[in-house]
Structure 1
Amino acid sequence: MNYLTVENISKAYGELELFSNLSFSIHKDDKIAFVAKNGSGKTSILNILSGKDTPDAGQIVMRNGLRIAFLSQSPDFDKNLTIESAIFNSDLPILKIIGDYEKALQNPEDEDAYQKAFEQMEVHNAWEFELQFKQILFQLKLDQLDQKISTMSGGQIKRLALAQVLISNPDLLVLDEPTNHLDLEMIEWLEQYFAKAKFTLFMVTHDRYFLERVCNEIIELDHGKLYTYKGNYSYYLENKEARITQEQVETGKAKQLFKKELEWMRRQPKARTTKSKSRIDDFSDIKKRAHKRRNDHKIELEINMERLGSKIVEFHKVSKAFKDKSILNAFEYVFKKGERIGIIGKNGTGKSTFLNMLTQNIQPDSGKVIIGDTVKFGYYTQGGIKIKPQQKVIEVIKEFGEYIPLTKGRQISAKQLLERFLFDGKKQHDYVEKLSGGEQKRLYLCTVLIQNPNFLILDEPTNDLDIVTLNILEDFLLDFPGCLLVVSHDRYFMDKIVDHLFVFKGQGEVQDFPGNYSDYRTYEASVLPVSKTKDDVVNNSEEKNKTNKAEKLSYNEQKEYKNLESKIRALEFDKKALEEQFNDTTLTQDEITKLSDKLQQVINDIETKEMRWFELSEKFES
């Protein structure tokens, strides 16, 4: 089933043409990744698909009634809303029913409203949907539903926007870098969610494992032309290489034919026959094919690293906490030359705080951080480049000097350096604020590396960089002779460049693991508690039993049986939410009594449904 067709769209900003005459289609159940270099117009294409922008030429033809949800890189919410109100601010009817039910739970004194809301949940069978969206919020660490958006970090807001588009249950999901601001656990959950859910996806992402495991099609915009690959990331790499090789062969043949036709053109008399005129017309096409060449300039990352002495960085019994939240607890470590360490851990476990202590931007509560005399940090932060109004790209680099020192006593001009980072002469005189997100990150990376650090700290360096730039950065880092410390949620990137990990487990615990991220995940899976393994066996057995029993139930009983499981799980969530309200010390005795009545009512509903569930499950036993 065709959902959407893009017909010959073009887009330009002033003299800058992003793309022209692009056409492709999106069909039901497609999971498409859109791949292109930074500055090629990826975000503009997503904005056009979602209706936030319009093409200069061409059109988007959509199926009637198609519902599209768009996740942008910079979500915009009303700061006065709470997480809950933002989620329920939707035109989806079932969300209004669930919203009324959630509101009734928060007002225990209004028993009529609760009863009415509960009945609507029953009539519209909204329990499964409620359970699904609560699980989404739980996985994305958004369970404080009364938290105001004005108090949330940028990462939390991005996760809220992701939750909102997932819960809206659209026909087509358009996603711009969905894994940004997610920790590794969340990314792996989202992978599994998309692999199982019947979503149709069109997305831009730099996460190559995500591309490998989620996508069934990749569309690449390369030198102004679209190429479609019906497969995952591995299939794309293999077939792209074959395509480029074939193009080179065809260009070689065209050059030989061009040489032959050029000699013929030079020998031709002034009088032309009809046959020769046709051959002359073909000559211009042959000439164009013969002169076709790929503009695949690579970033040349070359720096004059400062000498690194024997003493680098030492942590001696370092502790740090914020109120009752421990970040480090008597942490001990001595960095050695050439170390390549990755840092992983859930959001909020203190990874960025650790980096700030390392660079002495934050002082520990106790213990010492000793920095060697020869250490020169290069710190690539999540904040990115600080944009000055009306500052041009070339002016950013000239702040470090007209000429930049390289290895072996050589030097390079600011202009030449920018060319090595893929900023051509025209782009160098663009305003920084007009660059794409990925181009700004590339410029920021340039400013970090030209300061010749010997201890490189990269905090989420892969966000917004295109895959081509990522591959080049990885190759550079593999050859970097200094110390390297990386915080990244890009598992492919971490696997390729780090030797061991600092695993931030929370409450001050940091594990030093000898291996990369995939090694760590394999290790974690191998040391699961015996009790958990037994539980898994029991659960698998129960699932088989459920299947057998269900086969003996009538169609309506099977449907009721399945719905009861969803209802019970959803009511358990509601029970927990009501119980948490008792933590409010300002409640009056009357409010406590009404809250207790509401809680008892939910408990009664759970017990009633559990009894019916047991009746159905035992109905045909024996």
Structure 2
Amino acid sequence: MSILSTEQLGHSYHDRWLFRNLHFGLQKGERVALVGVNGTGKSSLLRILAGELDPLEGTVVRERGIRIGFLPQDPTFHEYATVNDFIYHADNEQQRLIRAYEELLAEPDADTARLSALTEQLSALNAWEYEHHIKSILTRLQITDFSQAIANLSGGQRKRLALAKLLIDEPDVYILDEPTNHLDIETIEWLEKLLTGGQKTVLLVTHDRYFLDAVCTQIRELDHGKLTTYMGNYGYYLERKTEAEAIAGVELERNRNLLRKELEWMRRQPQARGTKSKARIDAFYDLEEKTKGYQANQTVQLSVKVSRQGSKILEIDQVFKGYHGRQLINGFSYVFKKGDRIGLAGRNGTGKSTFLNLITGSEQPDKGTITAGETTVFGYNRQGGLALQGSERVIDVVKDVAEYIQMANGDSLSASQLLTQFLFPPEKQFGLVDKLSGGERKRLQLMRVLMQNPNFLILDEPANDLDIDTLNVLEAFLANYSGVLILVSHDRYLLDRLTDQLFIFDGSGTITVYNGNYAAYKQEQEEKQSKEKPAERQKAPVKPVAEKKNKLSYKELQEYETLDREIPQLEQRIQECTEALSTTTDQMELAKIASDISKLNDELDRKTERWMELSEFA
């Protein structure tokens, strides 16, 4: 039975129907990914289901008492002044006491009697564990200054704050619009485990294919106002979609051939027609309507000329850069070579964006030199997006760069022709920028960068807000791009496919050059950690029994080592069950596998929690 569903749902945007008579149902424990190209109405559908937007037609039916948590693409905090105001609700007794306790602790001369009273109240409500839960989520999402004004937060900080609140509240249904935007890779991997733990009900839109495969067991595609369901992961969805498109293509060609024959017959028909002729005429018009109604999905076409590149590209020599006493780059040197494909890796705030600003000249190093070759042409796709006036027309944004652009095959295209290749039809070209969706704005920004014919391309989080189809085209273009590429992305799939070298930022100023992609680096780090753990235990000094107060007992140590072996085995079994979902279409079997996955996740949560308790003393 659905806990969240719709009845004959319809909604339009700027006088265009996104969908009509749409039926959608979400059952408890389902983890669903909503996919589709930019502009099909995915974000609008999420907002309607979350109760943030009223549909023009139809209704949304929610199970009584259900709590829905919604993470929008661009969160707003109208009635909240500070982080504390947003995180701690006055109507939640535990949260209210925790906030009062934290604020009292921050005072230089805290009232000890008041502090003691709050401590007793927190203990009576078993709120200490809840406080630890809140703090662990906030810390993981890099939220540490609770008195900070929300108005002073960056877009990325606002997104992480909204995600933190949703995870703390633990709703019955998680509705997430691009949850991985502005998160580093380690945090994304943590979020994957959190969402797949227990029997959570999740509906999300994401461009991150690794995240999608790890979290979701069902894909629903919104295409031309209709929903199609695919049981299984993203790889299974792609296979079935390709098959469906091939069948549709064959059927279209057959209908077109038949239409040509029927058209000749119609032209030969006399004015007086009998009953048989009328039936055939009706069939002709039906066939004509079917043929007109078929619309193949268009794809962005990326093919631009790359400026000639000389022998000297870019040289970094002993560069230092810091802010407010914190060193972000400490004596880094590197000489770029033709064909370099480099990914920047590291947690948020470790200096990746600063590094990009240094090499493009928008910031200057404290010490050292950065010298670009005479023929080096930078193309910098910034994470922040386009700084444009909403009243500006789309075509004028492009013409500000150039009226014509030379393509890789030597053709010269006008601004309007190039916009058409990037899926901006004439009505959008002459429309206003503020009517574009987030994904369309991102696509327009990428187009402006490529128009400069760069031979040194820098992409800072290019995947944010792009649909998966456009990402696939971007990947294909970048895979054949002949210039130097620097990529900053939390999308592990993108990093693995497009880079063969990493600059790893550790946050203390050291940048390590690693030869290999992110998957190879991650595997190497995991192997290194697994070897270090036994070695650390062997090196640990043996203390007398009397001093082992805070150490594991022999029995607990055995339990800890057993859990160390069992947890990877459970993760492997969950992965196998998830893959098994895509190999069967039998509903009974699918239900059994889903039930097994839920039980395994519960067991994994329990054992992981116990392992973390024991690891503090191991």
Deviates more, 1:316-325 or 1:254-263: 254-263
State the distance in 2 between where 1:180 and 1:279 align. 55
C-alpha deviations, 1:122-168, integer Å up to 9, x for none? Answer: 45444443332222112112133333324432212211110001111
Q: Does 1:28 align with 2:45?
A: no
Considering only aligned residues, what root-mean-square deviation do their CA atoms show, in Å?
2.9
Counterpart amino acid of residue 396 in structure 1: V
Counterpart amino acid of residue 165 in structure 1: L
State the distance in 2 between where 1:318 and 1:545 align. 48
Q: Does 1:542 align with 2:559?
A: yes
Deviates more, 1:531-540 or 1:516-525: 531-540
Query: Aligned ranges for residues 361-376 of structure 1 at < 5 Å?
Result: 361-376=362-377
State the distance in 2 between where 1:119 and 1:281 align. 81
State the distance in 1 between where 2:131 and 2:67 align. 20
| Aligned equivalent of 2:355 | 354
1:456 aligned counterpart, secondary structure = strand
Distance 1:536 1:208, change over 3 A: farther
- Is the Cα contact below 8 Å between 2:178 and 2:465 reproduced in 1? yes
Q: Does 1:526 align with 2:527?
A: yes
State the distance in 1 between where 2:31 and 2:66 align. 16
Query: Aligned ranges for residues 432-443 of structure 1 at < 5 Å?
Result: 432-443=433-444
- Is the Cα contact below 8 Å between 1:358 and 1:369 reproduced in 2? yes
Query: Aligned ranges for residues 430-469 of structure 1 at < 5 Å?
Result: 430-469=431-470
Distance 1:274 1:406, change over 3 A: closer
Query: Aligned ranges for residues 397-408 of structure 1 at < 5 Å?
Result: 397-407=398-408
State the distance in 1 between where 2:100 and 2:198 align. 26
- Is the Cα contact below 8 Å between 1:92 and 1:168 reproduced in 2? no
Q: How far off its partner does 1:370 sit? A: 0.9
Q: TM-score, normalising length from structure 1? A: 0.82
Query: Aligned ranges for residues 512-591 of structure 1 at < 5 Å?
Result: 512-528=513-529, 530-533=531-534, 541-543=558-560
Deviates more, 1:364-373 or 1:246-255: 246-255
State the distance in 1 between where 2:536 and 2:164 align. 30
Query: Aligned ranges for residues 177-256 of structure 1 at < 5 Å?
Result: 177-256=178-257
2:426 aligned counterpart, secondary structure = coil
Counterpart amino acid of residue 213 in structure 1: A
- Is the Cα contact below 8 Å between 1:155 and 1:181 reproduced in 2? yes
State the distance in 1 between where 2:288 and 2:91 align. 57
State the distance in 1 between where 2:411 and 2:254 align. 41
State the distance in 1 between where 2:339 and 2:208 align. 26
1:26 aligned counterpart, secondary structure = strand
- Is the Cα contact below 8 Å between 1:457 and 1:486 reproduced in 2? yes
State the distance in 2 between where 1:304 and 1:332 align. 30
State the distance in 1 between where 2:500 and 2:150 align. 39
Counterpart amino acid of residue 63 in structure 1: E
| Aligned equivalent of 2:71 | 71
Q: How far off its partner does 1:205 sit? A: 0.8
- Is the Cα contact below 8 Å between 2:319 and 2:332 reproduced in 1? yes
| Aligned equivalent of 2:546 | none
State the distance in 1 between where 2:116 and 2:438 align. 50
Q: How far off its partner does 1:395 sit? A: 0.7
1:85 aligned counterpart, secondary structure = helix
C-alpha deviations, 1:276-335, integer Å up to 9, x for none? Answer: 655544443333334443333322222222211001100111111113211111111000
State the distance in 2 between where 1:394 and 1:150 align. 33
C-alpha deviations, 1:586-615, integer Å up to 9, x for none? Answer: xxxxxxxxxxxxxxxxxxxxxxxx9xxxxx
C-alpha deviations, 1:349-390, integer Å up to 9, x for none? Answer: 100110111011111111111111111111111121121242
- Is the Cα contact below 8 Å between 1:79 and 1:149 reproduced in 2? no
Distance 1:80 1:32, change over 3 A: closer
Distance 1:248 1:131, change over 3 A: same
Q: Does 1:147 align with 2:148?
A: yes
| Aligned equivalent of 1:17 | 17
Query: Aligned ranges for residues 386-401 of structure 1 at < 5 Å?
Result: 386-401=387-402
State the distance in 2 between where 1:409 and 1:256 align. 36
Q: Does 1:340 align with 2:341?
A: yes
- Is the Cα contact below 8 Å between 1:80 and 1:150 reproduced in 2? no
Alignment size in residue pairs: 553
State the distance in 2 between where 1:94 and 1:282 align. 68
State the distance in 1 between where 2:275 and 2:168 align. 67
> Percent identity over the alignment?
46
| Aligned equivalent of 1:83 | 83
Distance 1:169 1:536, change over 3 A: farther
Q: Which 5+ residue runs of structure 2 have no aligned equivalent?
A: 539-551, 564-605
Distance 1:80 1:128, change over 3 A: closer
2:308 aligned counterpart, secondary structure = coil
| Aligned equivalent of 1:607 | none
- Is the Cα contact below 8 Å between 1:79 and 1:150 reproduced in 2? no
Query: Aligned ranges for residues 27-66 of structure 1 at < 5 Å?
Result: 27-66=27-66
2:74 aligned counterpart, secondary structure = coil
State the distance in 1 between where 2:421 and 2:395 align. 13
Deviates more, 1:287-296 or 1:164-173: 287-296
Counterpart amino acid of residue 135 in structure 1: S
Counterpart amino acid of residue 339 in structure 2: G
State the distance in 2 between where 1:497 and 1:459 align. 14
State the distance in 1 between where 2:106 and 2:389 align. 47
Counterpart amino acid of residue 48 in structure 2: I
- Is the Cα contact below 8 Å between 1:393 and 1:431 reproduced in 2? yes
Counterpart amino acid of residue 52 in structure 1: E
Distance 1:253 1:536, change over 3 A: farther
Deviates more, 1:218-227 or 1:6-15: 6-15
State the distance in 2 between where 1:481 and 1:83 align. 46
Distance 1:421 1:80, change over 3 A: same
1:228 aligned counterpart, secondary structure = strand
| Aligned equivalent of 1:476 | 477
Distance 1:535 1:363, change over 3 A: same
Query: Aligned ranges for residues 403-418 of structure 1 at < 5 Å?
Result: 403-407=404-408, 409-418=410-419
- Is the Cα contact below 8 Å between 1:80 and 1:149 reproduced in 2? yes
| Aligned equivalent of 2:600 | none
Q: How far off its partner does 1:264 sit? A: 6.0
Query: Aligned ranges for residues 589-608 of structure 1 at < 5 Å?
Result: none
1:484 aligned counterpart, secondary structure = strand
Q: How far off its partner does 1:498 sit? A: 0.8
Distance 1:275 1:127, change over 3 A: farther
2:485 aligned counterpart, secondary structure = strand
State the distance in 1 between where 2:68 and 2:31 align. 14
Q: How far off its partner does 1:475 sit? A: 0.8
C-alpha deviations, 1:522-554, integer Å up to 9, x for none? Answer: 1111212644246799877335899xxxxxxxx
Larger radius of gyration: 1
Distance 1:241 1:80, change over 3 A: closer
- Is the Cα contact below 8 Å between 2:19 and 2:224 reproduced in 1? no
| Aligned equivalent of 1:581 | none
State the distance in 2 between where 1:169 and 1:97 align. 19
- Is the Cα contact below 8 Å between 1:255 and 1:291 reproduced in 2? no
Q: TM-score, normalising length from structure 2? A: 0.83
